[in-house]
Structure 1
Amino acid sequence: MSSTQPVPERQAWLALTALCAGLFITLMDQALVAVALPSIRAALDASINQTVWVVAVYLLAFAAPLLVSGRLGDRFGQRNVYLAGMAVFTAAATAAAFAPTIELLIAARAVQGLGASLLNPQPLSIIHRVFAYDRRGAAMGMWSAVASSAGLFGPILGGLIVGSAGWRWVFALYIPFGFLAFVLVALLVPRLPTGVGRIDLVSAALAVVTVLAVTLTLQQGPDLGWPLWLWAVVGAGIAAAALFVGRQFRVSRRGLDALVPPALFGYRNFALGSFSVFTLGFAVYSMNIPIMLFLQTSKGLSAEVAGLMMIPTAVVSLALAPYVGRLTDRTAPGVVSTTGFVSMIAAMLLFAAMMTWQAPVPWLLVPLVLMGAANAMCWAANSAVSMRSLPSDLVGAGSGVYNTSRQVGAVVGAAALGAVMQVGIAHTDFSTAMGLTLVLPALLLLAGATAVRRFQPDSAH
């Protein structure tokens, strides 16, 4: 592979820094806004169900179009689609900050999620196009540090903002940061040539229906008691998925641009990485639920102090990820990823043991620090190895698939852990239930570790 830098390296790093500013605030949203939900419910006289939808509708609107938005970057330019997404996200955040009713707040959150979906796949594609092949691991390290730590900083900032200024300032925070991110990307990210013709609208519609059906079912099923109509939604999603897959093969055979080209999965590392990032999304984005409940309910910590407990994880992850990225460029594929997955499994099992045995709070710093190191190794290496061998004409589609895998994993993880927690609480004491819940993500990560161990040198295709 060529190591020629497509743009000057300094310009490439400035571009990535600008992109990461926007990426951080969109990925931080779920954890940040969750802290404000009790205040939102009280201020707007909302029901429990309406309050839950403030977060749920954002995740639905975020996840459903991801397959399409990655391809939109190929069609109209990653920079342009990112800017459009950031403009939509910031405008919707402004509407949310001033929303007078819960219904208008939920509507604004849906639009905000759409904006996040437009911009989220673009940084991976741009990294692939502006960094030399042997520098992409280092770049992915920075991207991964932002992506993996965003959710960890959410509870910290959310607790401080809600406690000192009120819930509306959670959304108002996005306005200056969104504007700054828009300006930085407009100034620092180069315009790149586009390489895809028209987008297959039928495939786009089928993709949105598929992801929407899956995420809606998994989000709402446990709370609604799995009513019959929800199973009909599942059936519609499965049917749409089957039609979508068949259409991708038919479109590709005709020599046209498929939304998700089947050729993507001919790249072994990409196929394995898309599965392993699903397991990462499942584990990392859901583990905070039982840990926070344990700290606040069993140990009696306030929401603010419980959020601050996550600082070691976030700091270690941010500090190590750039170095891990550079190490990924210099080692055989799978070495760093496997080390990261094994470390994350160990951290999950340590959490499970300490929570079950009611260990003193300071002891939890051990798995929290280990989780930070594991985060850095898993995300940076997985994204670098998965994406760097893709040719330019497939990178936008690949970015959409990769981000969708991560996001759907997060939704499945939250739903699965919620169900396991309910079963555990019914059969044992609260602390034991919270601890044993973390065994489930550890088991799924074992499947992810098995996948990344099978990474091969890129030339093996």
Structure 2
Amino acid sequence: MATPLTTGRPANPRAALYALCAGFFMICLDATVVNVAAPDIRARLGASLNEAVWVNSSYALCYAVPLILSGRLGDLYGPRRIFLTGLAGFTAASAACALAPGPPELIIARALQGLAAALIAPQTMSMIVHLFPVQHRSTALGVWAAVGGAAMAAGPVIGGLLITWSGWRGIFLVNIPVGILGWAAAVQLLPRWRPARPHRLDLWGIALSSLGLTALIFGLVSGEAYNWGTVAGIVTIPSLLAFGFLSLAAFIWWQYRNSREPLLPLQLFRHRDFSAVSIAGGAVGAAMGGFFLPLMLYLQSDLGHSPLEAGAATVPMFVLSSLCARRAGRWSDTRSPRTVAASGFALLIAGTATLDWLLHPGITLGALMPSLLLVGAGIGLASAPLGPVRPIM
């Protein structure tokens, strides 16, 4: 039975915000901290390059696929309940990651981490919208966004330090006390609230989107490992990709036909700004997701830097990204957000292109820094203008 509806706010919304941010910090931190650990995981567990990639990809896949569903679960059962469930699951999965005896077990534990993170993220946004009135909501969301940026910036350095002191298992062990404290704080500070409007689950939409995304992402990530051929029996990478595309096409058709409560209302995409922001936000996410793991592998495996040195090399980039995002948010209030975002994409493309041209054995971190700063500035300028019109996750 769903949590009874309550409309009151807690006595201290700011304290509740900090409790939400503790959980959000953990899931953002784990999006970058593991990149630094990939070479150490390969060396200590004897993992192949494909297995090291899947340590990250399993987290990203299991985070992305159920994200819309977890938002609907918050509507049904209350954001507080789903947030607490996700935080407990994330903490337990972190312990499983730290204790994993081999690559397969670590990949499975990372997948469980991703599922738990997907439960956490949408609830933080919906709770903030409930906790703060309109005149204070932008400030609260700014704190929330800053916490995410700080976690992304701190991840490589924290990862480097923990790996230097205790090996790759330390990056997961640190989540356990943070998760326990965050869960205890959330129990005390978050209100028992859920939206008044009743909702239902779109089971066909859930099944089709999950199958399609899983098949498509698995095919793209593991295609090279299987030489773009047979996976097992009659299952091949091309057939998986085709199945993924067909499932997503069926999902879109079902969302169009479902007149009750589709998982993804297609009428949203009739608004040009929403469609443009969705595509641009996806592009930024794809660029960030495909950038950091190869960079960390290259800095450590090819250039011979320690995990701490490799992580520290990205700090100026993240700091500049945060500063540019803050400035871009202000510029977007007085100038065209399209112009600001387009400038960010131009810098992101320039930084990535020059990195591709510069990377070769023997290059110094100093020579790479201008390109990394371009990437950081581009991410900040491109991301911030998308926030005000981006749908709540």
Aligned residues: 381
Match of 1:386 in 2: 390
Q: What TM-score results when the alignment is normalised by the length of structure 1?
A: 0.72
Match of 2:64 in 1: 63
Cα deviations by residue, 1:143-162 (Å, 9 ceiling, x for unpaired): 44444554443332222211
Distance (Å, rounded) in 2 between the aligned partners of 1:61 and 1:350: 32
Deviates more, 1:137-146 or 1:8-17: 8-17
Match of 1:284 in 2: 288
Match of 1:201 in 2: 203
Match of 1:24 in 2: 25
Distance (Å, rounded) in 2 between the aligned partners of 1:135 and 1:326: 16
Aligned Cα RMSD in Å? Answer: 3.3
Asked if structure 1 preserves the Cα contact closer than 8 Å seen for 2:344 and 2:377, the reply is yes
Distance (Å, rounded) in 1 between the aligned partners of 2:378 and 2:139: 17
SS at match of 1:259: coil
Aligned pair 1:263/2:270, yes or no? Answer: no
Distance (Å, rounded) in 2 between the aligned partners of 1:358 and 1:64: 40
Aligned pair 1:341/2:341, yes or no? Answer: no
The alpha-carbon deviation at position 26 of structure 1 amounts to 1.5
Cα deviations by residue, 1:322-377 (Å, 9 ceiling, x for unpaired): 45445545555434433433333343344445547987532433343443333333
Structure 2: state its 5+ residue gaps. 1-6, 231-235
Structure 1: state its 5+ residue gaps. 1-5, 388-394, 400-461
SS at match of 2:228: coil
Select 2:251's aligned residue among 244, 263, 268: 244
Counterpart amino acid of residue 203 in structure 2: L
Match of 1:217 in 2: 219
Asked if structure 1 preserves the Cα contact closer than 8 Å seen for 2:95 and 2:176, the reply is yes
The alpha-carbon deviation at position 279 of structure 1 amounts to 0.8
C-alpha change, 1:95 and 1:324, in structure 2 (3 Å) is same
Asked if structure 2 preserves the Cα contact closer than 8 Å seen for 1:340 and 1:378, the reply is yes
SS at match of 1:115: helix
Asked if structure 2 preserves the Cα contact closer than 8 Å seen for 1:135 and 1:326, the reply is no
Asked if structure 1 preserves the Cα contact closer than 8 Å seen for 2:90 and 2:112, the reply is yes
SS at match of 2:239: helix
Select 1:233's aligned residue among 226, 230, 240: 240
Aligned pair 1:368/2:372, yes or no? Answer: yes
Distance (Å, rounded) in 2 between the aligned partners of 1:42 and 1:371: 29
Distance (Å, rounded) in 2 between the aligned partners of 1:281 and 1:303: 24
Asked if structure 2 preserves the Cα contact closer than 8 Å seen for 1:337 and 1:378, the reply is yes
Cα deviations by residue, 1:27-72 (Å, 9 ceiling, x for unpaired): 3324322433444455445555545443332222222212211222
Cα deviations by residue, 1:410-455 (Å, 9 ceiling, x for unpaired): xxxxxxxxxxxxxxxxxxxxxxxxxxxxxxxxxxxxxxxxxxxxxx
Asked if structure 2 preserves the Cα contact closer than 8 Å seen for 1:148 and 1:379, the reply is no
C-alpha change, 1:129 and 1:329, in structure 2 (3 Å) is farther
C-alpha change, 1:242 and 1:331, in structure 2 (3 Å) is same
Counterpart amino acid of residue 64 in structure 1: V
Distance (Å, rounded) in 2 between the aligned partners of 1:89 and 1:339: 37
Distance (Å, rounded) in 1 between the aligned partners of 2:301 and 2:37: 18
Distance (Å, rounded) in 1 between the aligned partners of 2:13 and 2:32: 30
Asked if structure 2 preserves the Cα contact closer than 8 Å seen for 1:7 and 1:131, the reply is no
The alpha-carbon deviation at position 134 of structure 1 amounts to 6.1
The alpha-carbon deviation at position 273 of structure 1 amounts to 1.1
The alpha-carbon deviation at position 318 of structure 1 amounts to 3.5
Q: What TM-score results when the alignment is normalised by the length of structure 2?
A: 0.83
Match of 1:392 in 2: none
C-alpha change, 1:340 and 1:188, in structure 2 (3 Å) is farther
C-alpha change, 1:123 and 1:208, in structure 2 (3 Å) is same
Distance (Å, rounded) in 2 between the aligned partners of 1:12 and 1:328: 27
C-alpha change, 1:189 and 1:212, in structure 2 (3 Å) is same
Aligned pair 1:104/2:116, yes or no? Answer: no
Cα deviations by residue, 1:239-273 (Å, 9 ceiling, x for unpaired): 22122112212222xxx221111222233322211
- Give 1:430-449 correspondences, 5 Å limit: none
Match of 1:173 in 2: 174
